[in-house]
């Protein structure tokens, strides 16, 4: 048996972008072919599409997880990766999309309306697209961006023209069954209707839909009975119809008090899509007048209700008495409401560019790390995701991008010290202001960046100073020595085994003597005035 589900929570995963390719063209008789790595493909989107043949969210109730396809990676010879397969989820008309906090993201009205619920990641650029005057043959490529991960809630708000409200067992489902071809469940006990019932009614030239929602009781706004959960289905209705049971034997109930109690509960409900429900036109149906006592009660209260401004219709769903007058009155109100609304136009895709952020990034002090900083912004965080931190040249390219954006200058102005921890996205690193960024450097081996290299070779002035300290002499021209003199002395201090720290490679006196002349020449060159 089919179930009516009007609320579902979806866990969506858009496709990841494919990685760019780092490749160099190789062909016979064509030296220096240049970079030819292609771009990665974009990840697929998860899109909600309104379909006229879908009437419930039942499929999403049993299959709440949805994932689009990933983009393929680029390859050599300038071949771009294929885009990931997009995923379209068909939803009924009147579906409202909410985020995790209950904020409305979209109201899907109109067949064919589309809404991208999760955006696929962009594919990474290959080294052919990254080639420039400074980097003629990049030895790296950008990584693909991950796709969006979203948890959304779908709520179905029926597109009915007439909404029936009333106490349990007032005859709402019976009224739907006699006015339309719908066949809802009908029984002689309260809360027979546990889900909304919709039917199509024809009255002359007018065709409209009617919705029966589960019964309301006093305290429904506090969750009693079935609560106000199903009232979302009457938010779009043109007219609300009070269905009153005139044959009830419950003490303390009469048509006037029933209507007042229902109006009090409706006042507690705040629709998220439309105006206040108090502004909707009302009709009152006094049902079950086929019972003699009910007919007498209906005749007794009809004048009072009409004096209060209601249009009253005594009916009997058992004998069909008064149904034609009620049906044409509903059609009249619906036609008036339709004529007052603006004409429907075809759905158009509206492209709204995002607001331009003049700052483009923000740098704040890290409250959890002493002396640390946090850099936030769409562009820096996206660049972090695109960077392969196993490739020094890619890291150098990231440093250039951040420097051109002004991150380095901003950190300096905020008093960042060398070695200060800096957090960008999910990556933390130690800030080194001595690392040049934003300058054109002579390229070396592909995939490396000389700014990130830590050379272990000791300069000529340091070797000369170590040679003199080893012989117990004073260092000449200490201002030319790159390393502090005390640090050099510590290197010469004997270890536990009796060997000096600088003698690990077996540097003998003969080797030091052989270097005297060469070191002296290099030191003399440094001493020459420029």
Binding residues for GTP are 166-173, 191-195, 212-215, 287-290, 316-318
| List of residues 6+ apart from 180 with CB closer than 8 A | 199, 200, 201, 210
| HSE-up of residue 518 (Cα within 13 Å, Cβ side) | 9
Helix 378-386 to helix 392-405 angle, to the nearest 10 degrees?
170
Q: Do β-strands 197-203 and 206-212 pair in parallel, antiparallel, or remain unpaired? A: antiparallel
3-state SS class at 174 = helix
Q: For residues 179 and 40, is the Cβ–Cβ distance under 8 A?
A: no
Q: How far from each other are the two terminal CA atoms of the chain, in whole angstroms? A: 94
Alpha helical stretches, state H, 157-208: 172-179
List residues forming the annotated binding site.
166-173, 191-195, 212-215, 287-290, 316-318
State the Cα–Cα distance between residues 80 and 482, nearest whole angstrom.
Answer: 49
Give the E-state strand segments of 261-347 in sequence order.
282-287, 311-314
Q: For residues 290 and 193, is the Cβ–Cβ distance under 8 A?
A: no
Beta bridge partners of 312: 284
Q: For residues 200 and 278, is the Cβ–Cβ distance under 8 A?
A: no
State the Cα–Cα distance between residues 71 and 121, nearest whole angstrom.
Answer: 8
Go through 229-262 and write b for each residue having 16 or more CB atoms within 10 A of its CB, e for each that does not. Answer: ebbbbbbbbbbbbbbbbbbbeeeeeebeebbebb
Annotate 356-382 with DSSP letters as a single string.
P-SS--EEEE-SSSTT-EEEE-HHHHH
| HSE-up of residue 17 (Cα within 13 Å, Cβ side) | 24
List residues forming the annotated binding site for Mg(2+).
173, 193
State the Cα–Cα distance between residues 261 and 127, nearest whole angstrom.
Answer: 71
Annotate 233-280 with DSSP letters as a single string.
GGTT-SEEEEEEETT---TT--HHHHHHHHHHHHHH---SSSS-GGGS
Q: Do β-strands 373-376 and 421-424 pair in parallel, antiparallel, or remain unpaired? A: parallel
State the Cα–Cα distance between residues 34 and 378, nearest whole angstrom.
Answer: 32
3-state SS class at 465 = helix
State the Cα–Cα distance between residues 518 and 521, nearest whole angstrom.
Answer: 5
**Cα 118 from chain centre:** 6
Helix 509-527 to helix 460-470 angle, to the nearest 10 degrees?
130
């Amino acid at each position: 048996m089919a179930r009516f589900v009007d609320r579902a929570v979806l866990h969506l995963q858009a496709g990841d972008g494919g990685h760019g390719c780092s490749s160099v063209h190789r062909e016979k008789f064509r030296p220096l072919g240049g970079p030819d790595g292609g771009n990665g493909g974009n990840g697929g989107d998860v899109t909600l599409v309104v379909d006229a043949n879908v009437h419930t969210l039942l499929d999403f109730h049993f299959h709440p997880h949805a994932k689009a396809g990933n983009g393929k990676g680029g390859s050599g010879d300038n071949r771009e990766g294929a885009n990931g397969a997009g995923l379209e989820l068909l939803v009924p008309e009147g579906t409202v999309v909410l985020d995790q906090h209950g904020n409305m993201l979209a109201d899907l009205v109109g067949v064919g309306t589309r809404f991208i619920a999760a955006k696929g990641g962009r594919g990474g650029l290959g080294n052919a697209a990254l080639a420039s005057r400074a980097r003629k043959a990049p030895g790296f490529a950008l990584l693909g961006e991950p796709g969006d991960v979203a948890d959304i809630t779908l709520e179905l708000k029926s597109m009915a023209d007439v909404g029936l409200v009333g106490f349990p067992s007032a005859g709402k489902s019976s009224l739907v069954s006699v006015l339309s071809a719908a066949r809802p469940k009908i029984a002689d006990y309260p809360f027979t209707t546990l889900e909304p019932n919709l039917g199509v009614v024809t009255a002359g030239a007018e065709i409209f839909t009617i919705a029966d929602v589960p019964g309301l009781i006093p305290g429904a706004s506090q969750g009693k009975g079935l609560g106000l959960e199903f009232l979302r289905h009457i938010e779009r209705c043109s007219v609300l119809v009070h269905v009153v049971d005139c044959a009830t034997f419950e003490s303390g109930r009469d048509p006037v008090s029933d209507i007042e109690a229902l109006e009090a509960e409706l006042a507690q409900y705040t629709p998220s899509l439309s105006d206040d429900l108090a502004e909707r036109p009302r009709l009152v149906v006094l049902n079950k007048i086929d019972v003699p006592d009910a007919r007498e009660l209906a005749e007794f209260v009809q004048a009072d209700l009409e004096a209060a401004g209601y249009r009253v219709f005594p009916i009997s769903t058992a004998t069909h008495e008064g149904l034609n007058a009620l049906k044409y009155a509903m059609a009249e109100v619906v036609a008036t409401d339709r004529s007052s609304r603006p004409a429907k136009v075809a759905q158009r895709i509206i492209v709204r560019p995002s607001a331009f952020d003049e700052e483009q990034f923000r740098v704040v002090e890290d409250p959890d790390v002493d002396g640390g900083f946090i850099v936030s912004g769409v562009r820096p965080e996206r660049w972090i995701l695109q960077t392969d931190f196993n490739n020094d040249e890619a890291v150098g390219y990231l440093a250039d991008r951040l420097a051109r954006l002004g991150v380095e200058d901003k950190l300096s102005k905020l008093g960042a010290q060398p070695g200060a921890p800096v957090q960008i996205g999910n990556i933390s690193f130690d800030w080194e202001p001595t690392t040049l960024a934003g300058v054109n450097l002579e390229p070396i081996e592909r995939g490396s960046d000389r700014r990130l290299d830590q050379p272990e070779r000791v300069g000529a002035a340091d070797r000369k100073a170590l040679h003199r300290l080893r012989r117990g002499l004073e260092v000449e021209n200490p201002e030319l020595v790159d390393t502090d003199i005390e640090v050099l002395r510590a290197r010469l201090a004997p270890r536990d085994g009796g060997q000096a720290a600088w003698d690990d490679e077996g540097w003998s006196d003969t080797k030091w003597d052989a270097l005297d002349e060469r070191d002296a020449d290099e030191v003399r060159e440094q001493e020459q005035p420029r």
